Amino acid sequence: MRRVALVALCALACRKTQGPTQQPGSAGATKDPWQMADAAKETAQSRRARAEAALARVSDVQPKLAKLRGLQFDHPVPTAYQTTDEFRAFLRKELAKELPPERSAKLSTAFLHIGLLAKPVDIAKAYEQTMATQAAAYYDPDAKKFFVVVVPDNDLVLDTISAHELTHGLQDQRFDLKKYMSPKPPLDDDASYARQFVVEGDATLAMFLYGVAEATKSVDAVKPMALNVLREQIKRFADMDIAGYDKMMKEQASEMPSLDADLKQSMESVGQLPPVIITPLLASYMKGAAAVLVAYDYGGWPAVDALFREPPESTEQLLHPTTKLYPKREKPRRITLAKVEGDELTTNTMGELLWSVYFKLWGVTDASEGWGGDRYTVVKRKNGTLVAFLATAWDSEKDAKEFLASYEASIAKRFPAHDRKIATRRTGTNVYILDGDDDAKLFGQLIAQTKIL
């Protein structure tokens, strides 16, 4: 989706760690920043008043952030407060344009068929639920404005959220986020996720730096110290999977009885969201921040800026920045699929990120590392049956063999009754899959007509 939203979970994840909410070396913050006002006393008016007070402080946050991020604003970023109902209405309007019912139904059917979903899911509704329950604030590149949605009862946390969204405004002013995220011709899913890693990773790192700068009262001297403080913290959260996030959020929610109801829902709903949707969203913040930190280590903020001017091409590059992004980028291989007869539901690229989601969903060994490229298509034949054709390229024959072994193990998990026609074939470093048909002649023709460069 075109908007850029702050995931409340990522900010919450830092509430008990050294960083934005407490002084380095101190025994702890004097007040839990995510402890809400007494539920009995909280009203819509008091929440709005807190939000408006936070937005009034943006003029103080902006110059500090600009200094930390090493870029200057052309002009102040407009701000506004939205209730959760207003935000959900905005989401529904945008989703109606970006994922109308017919497209949503096709994607849901296709994802279920190739195993990116374990059960039928309305993709549009799943996106709405994910964004509505996970967003604390968001920046809208169309409106050129950021909106606060969730309002913690703590000025530092609110200002840190503002720093994240102001970074998006800064990105937009300097690099044009709409053009970056929605170029023409359109990006495939994997390349789009890679750019999202850059956008959110940059904003998350800047947000954390701002939080530490405020906690230490040192904007000028904070960067070297803050990066050292944050490095292990970012790595720890970048390595956390959905189950880890889900467990941590539930534990923290249970410790805060007076927690705001909207935020409590956000914290407790992670495990209920489809991994194919929530994983890229979460990964873009923490794994994105880890990758952006590697870029910073290579050349400071100019190297981070270069990721906007010369965007990465795959999630693989961002998941392995020290080997696939630096010192030289490993470009994904270009795949042109043979045409599969039928009504096309979708054609796209999964990339290392979504292959990892697939393997974890089905509880088999994650063999996504070593990815070199892929392309898939799902069609509905005239008789109503679904067929998917997938072509994948791997860095070595060893990687290809490991991928094929894990994929075949996943078939047994997906179809324990062995009632699905699926054909697989490895040719050197390439692996092909025909899902929904096992006609050897058809499979051979599709492989022969597919180009992998």
DSSP character at residue 259: -
Of 21-25, 33-37, 299-303, 402-406, least confident by mean pLDDT is: 21-25
Query: Of 291, 325, 359, which one is at a domain's C-terminal end?
Result: 325
For residue 240, what are the contacts with CB-CB under 8 A and spacing of at least 6? 248, 286
271: pLDDT confidence band, cut at 50, 70 and 90? confident
Higher-pLDDT residue of 14, 357:
357
Of 108-112, 142-146, 225-229, 337-341, least confident by mean pLDDT is: 225-229
Count: domains in the chain = 2
Whole-angstrom distance, CA of residue 282 vs CA of residue 242: 8
181 close to 199: Cβ distance less than 8 angstroms: yes
53 and 185 in a single domain? The answer is yes
Residue 107 clears pLDDT 90, i.e. is over it: yes
CA distances, 265 to each of 11, 132, 438 (Å): 15, 10, 45
144 and 246 in a single domain? The answer is yes
Interval 274-287 mean pLDDT: 92
Residue 254: CA count within 13 A, CB half-sphere: 6
Is residue 330 assigned to a domain? no
- Say what percent of the chain tops pLDDT 70: 86
Residue recorded with tokens 């023409």: 184
Query: Of 300, 325, 350, which one is at a domain's C-terminal end?
Result: 325
Instruction: Specify the pLDDT at position 220.
Output: 67
For residue 441, what are the contacts with CB-CB under 8 A and spacing of at least 6? none
Instruction: Specify the pLDDT at position 93.
Output: 92
Interval 79-83 mean pLDDT: 94
274 and 372 in a single domain? The answer is no
Interval 116-135 mean pLDDT: 88
Closest CA to 393 of 370, 410, 409: 370
Of 8-22, 69-83, 119-133, 427-441, least confident by mean pLDDT is: 8-22
Instruction: Specify the pLDDT at position 229.
Output: 77
Instruction: Specify the pLDDT at position 236.
Output: 86
Interval 264-290 mean pLDDT: 85
Residue 411 clears pLDDT 50, i.e. is over it: yes
350 and 315 in a single domain? The answer is no
368 and 279 in a single domain? The answer is no
| 198-254 per-position pLDDT tens digit | 999 999 999 999 988 888 887 765 567 777 778 888 888 888 887 887 777 777 666
Instruction: Specify the pLDDT at position 1.
Output: 43
Is residue 86 assigned to a domain? yes
DSSP character at residue 271: G
Whole-angstrom distance, CA of residue 90 vs CA of residue 132: 10
CA distances, 78 to each of 59, 61, 81, 131, 342 (Å): 10, 13, 11, 22, 48
Interval 156-163 mean pLDDT: 92
Closest CA to 23 of 212, 159, 285, 249: 212
10: pLDDT confidence band, cut at 50, 70 and 90? very low
Interval 98-123 mean pLDDT: 96
Higher-pLDDT residue of 368, 271:
368
Mean pLDDT, rounded, of the chain: 87
Beta bridge partners of 423: 434
225 and 131 in a single domain? The answer is yes
Is residue 385 assigned to a domain? yes
Instruction: Specify the pLDDT at position 273.
Output: 85
Higher-pLDDT residue of 287, 265:
287
Of 68-72, 127-131, 369-373, 442-446, least confident by mean pLDDT is: 127-131
> DSSP string covering 111-159, please?
HHHHTS-SS---HHHHHHHHHHHHEEEEEETTTTEEEE----S-HHHHH
311 and 342 in a single domain? The answer is no
Residue recorded with tokens 């873009």: 284
Whole-angstrom distance, CA of residue 451 vs CA of residue 453: 6
Whole-angstrom distance, CA of residue 6 vs CA of residue 115: 28
4: pLDDT confidence band, cut at 50, 70 and 90? very low
Whole-angstrom distance, CA of residue 303 vs CA of residue 104: 38
Residue recorded with tokens 């194919």: 276
CATH number at residue 444: 3.30.200
101: pLDDT confidence band, cut at 50, 70 and 90? very high
Beta bridge partners of 78: none
Instruction: Specify the pLDDT at position 259.
Output: 54
Query: Of 295, 325, 355, which one is at a domain's C-terminal end?
Result: 325
Highest mean pLDDT among 85-89, 127-131, 352-356: 352-356
Residue 257: is the preceding peptide bond cis (ω within 30°)? no
77 close to 58: Cβ distance less than 8 angstroms: yes
Residue 27 clears pLDDT 50, i.e. is over it: no
Q: Residues 233-255, buried b or exposed e (16+ Cβ, 10 A)?
A: bbeebbebebeebbebbeebbee
193: pLDDT confidence band, cut at 50, 70 and 90? very high
Residue 71 clears pLDDT 50, i.e. is over it: yes
CA distances, 400 to each of 99, 141, 153, 173, 362 (Å): 34, 40, 51, 43, 19
Is residue 200 assigned to a domain? yes
Instruction: Specify the pLDDT at position 262.
Output: 60
90 close to 149: Cβ distance less than 8 angstroms: no
Residues in the chain: 453
Instruction: Specify the pLDDT at position 437.
Output: 98
427 close to 400: Cβ distance less than 8 angstroms: no
Of 45-49, 299-303, 381-385, 427-431, least confident by mean pLDDT is: 45-49
- Say what percent of the chain tops pLDDT 90: 69
178 and 76 in a single domain? The answer is yes
- Domain that includes residue 368, residue range: 335-452
Instruction: Specify the pLDDT at position 18.
Output: 32
Instruction: Specify the pLDDT at position 138.
Output: 92
Residue recorded with tokens 């693989």: 316
256 and 228 in a single domain? The answer is yes
Is residue 231 assigned to a domain? yes
Whole-angstrom distance, CA of residue 349 vs CA of residue 204: 26
Q: 450, exposed or middle or buried, with CB in 10 Å at 0-12, 13-18, 19+?
A: middle
Of 124-128, 159-163, 217-221, 309-313, least confident by mean pLDDT is: 217-221
250 and 351 in a single domain? The answer is no
107 and 239 in a single domain? The answer is yes
257: pLDDT confidence band, cut at 50, 70 and 90? low
164 and 214 in a single domain? The answer is yes
